[in-house]
Amino acid sequence: MDKVDLDAIKAQLGGAGGGSGANVSDKGGNAEMSKQEEQRQDMLVQILTPEAMLRLKQMAIVKQDKVRAVEDMLLRMAQMKQIRNRVTEDELKGMLMQINAEHDKETKIVYSRKVYESEDEDEYDFD
């Protein structure tokens, strides 16, 4: 991915959220949201290889929240010019594993036993 593509992405991200929501009717709001979503998808097509894009779309069927988190991460990285080439499927898998590690914390169960005074060893004197 060359510098021109990344500059175009950065320009699109900068101009995506400029309107005020108070003056927009419901129809206008929906149209603006769909336009922003379309711009977002266009940027993702520029960032991802076709295989990675396919994997992301297939995951969106099941885990929409994780896909949205990966998309946000990719767009932020593109905006900060951290992406030099198109993201491959293997790199996307690594990002998904990273997000899974952040979201899925392992639950640990600790059993604690109360000690009663009757269980005290000093009570029984066998001398």
The DSSP line for 45-84 is: HHHB-HHHHHHHHHHHHH-HHHHHHHHHHHHHHHHTT---
pLDDT for 98 equals 83
To 5 degrees, how large is the angle CA 3–CA 82–CA 57?
95
pLDDT for 61 equals 92
pLDDT for 101 equals 79
Question: Is the CB of residue 34 less than 8 Å from the CB of residue 48?
Answer: no
Q: Which residues does the chain have with pLDDT short of 70?
A: 1-28, 103-107, 116-127
pLDDT for 49 equals 93
pLDDT for 95 equals 85
pLDDT for 110 equals 81
